Amino acid sequence: MVYSEECDFIFRLKGILEFACQLDNPNGAQSQSTISKSFQDLRSKVSSKNIVFTVCNSPVLIWPNTGFQSSVESLTEASACGDILQCIESDDGGSKKSSKKKDKKKSGPTVVNMKLLFEVTEPAGDEAPSLIRVSTPQHCVKMPLPLDCTLSVTPDESLAIVCTGLVEALNKQLADMERVVLWYRKGSSFLVPQPFHFQLPKPAGLITVIYPAGVPDSQLQAIREDLHRKFKLPCDRPYLRRANAFHFPDAAYKDGYLHNPHIHLNPPNTEDAKLYLVQGVYSYHHYMQDHVDDNGWGCAYRSLQTICSWFQQQGYVETAVPTHTQIQQALVDVGDKEPRFVGSRQWIGSIEVQAVLNQLLGVTSKIMFVSKGSELATKGRELANHFQTEGTPVMIGGGILAHTILGVAWSENTGQIRFLILDPHYTGGEDLQTITDKGWCGWKGPEFWDQNAYYNLCLPQRPKTI
């Protein structure tokens, strides 16, 4: 299913189906057909009249396979799917449609969450129970299948088409899960198939890939290579590692940090300028986080942590964002600092950031030097090229301050430039409105820099891998 800028709604359907089968001989020739038969039974189940979709935080129940029936009289098969928002309660008790907040900038599509249910009672028939005695040993296999399907549509699409699309997505996902189970099983030992959603460049859009639980990304490279070829993706950066999974706009991040606060900003009013921005997801690291009082000395550490979070969340590394102590120890390990540096409150700069990225993440960086801050206004082409090709956050240090550059608005014709700055000197809580309204994440002109101080910029380079 494809999500594009024209698709304002994502319907997301989640539920658990229990897979069960009995194998006479787990390694026998008939075991594969037995497993496939069990999956076929599940596909028949989701295509039956007993399937029910319930819309979260609403009284809406929909029977998609009975000619479309709804528990809400006003919702019919011809209703626009956007009408369903009137039935969904928001956090403040009103309808989701009427209580929509006006963000500075729309940061993603509206997500309608649904759950998969089944009616368990049916009219009694003429059937009688039967008993079968099996004399040979049987291996009984049971496991939960975590179904998670998406459908991206425009708000005027009919509910009937949405429901039909979701049933088709369920059937396809079960077929994909069957292939994964058969490929990775060993006798009666099965790996649970897990769905992951990925937002790919157009025209692919939002896709779903099934990976086996417990198999690390390092062992799934052949699968990713096939998918890169299928969707004509570049082969120099990861798109389909688990860390690249699509983050739904209505879902909270679990690590406690703000992510990508810049997407809530409006672009600057710079004549004839194009935007060149950080690509992907990062977390905002700043003073006083993680129970560490680094006010006055830790700004470069925090900028480095933001950069490390970017490499982690793009799937390049699986290691956690380093602490101040781990950063200092890395500098000791490479011979840049004496052992007494660990545990101190000494500043670091762009050169140290470059060394730590290489030591802890295996990431190389370029260093850009300007002898005074006024020269930064002339670096639009270099910075635009960096964000266009590498897309990584840039650490800049000058005088006694460090900041993170997330992008530039630059006009090739006039040379005008504005810098998108993430400021690590913020000491408050994770309050998005304060951070954006007060300029802790915001667009700054060339006058933001100390015009007479020299600056070093650390421009991390992407590893060439998928």
Which residues carry out catalysis?
Answer: 299, 423, 425
Element (H, E) at 47: none
Read off the tokens for 206.
């939002």
Question: Which residue carries 């802790």 as its tokens?
Answer: 440
Read off the tokens for 70.
């709804």
63-91 burial by CB neighbour count: b if 16+ within 10 A, else e? bbbeebebebeebebebbbbbbbebbeee
Q: Are the CB atoms for 149 and 177 separated by under 8 Å?
A: no
Measured CA to CA, the distance from residue 183 to residue 389 in angstroms comes to 37
Handedness of CA 345, 350, 354, 360 (dihedral sign): positive
Element (H, E) at 384: helix 380-389
Measured CA to CA, the distance from residue 14 to residue 147 in angstroms comes to 5
Q: Which DSSP symbol is given to 257?
A: S
Q: State the DSSP string of 346-395.
A: ----HHHHHHHIIIII---EEEEEESSGGGGGG-HHHHHHHHHHT---EE
Other Cβ atoms closer than 10 A to 435: 23
181-201 burial by CB neighbour count: b if 16+ within 10 A, else e? beebbeeeebbbbbbbbbebe
Q: State the DSSP string of 68-93.
A: -EESSTT--TTSBGGGGGGGSB-TTS
3-state class percentages of the chain: helix first, strand second, coil last, to nearest 5:
30, 25, 45
Secondary structure of residue 32 in the 3-state scheme:
helix
Measured CA to CA, the distance from residue 313 to residue 393 in angstroms comes to 13
Q: State the DSSP string of 119-132.
A: -------S------
Measured CA to CA, the distance from residue 384 to residue 259 in angstroms comes to 22
Question: Which residue carries 């029936």 as its tokens?
Answer: 69
Measured CA to CA, the distance from residue 411 to residue 378 in angstroms comes to 11
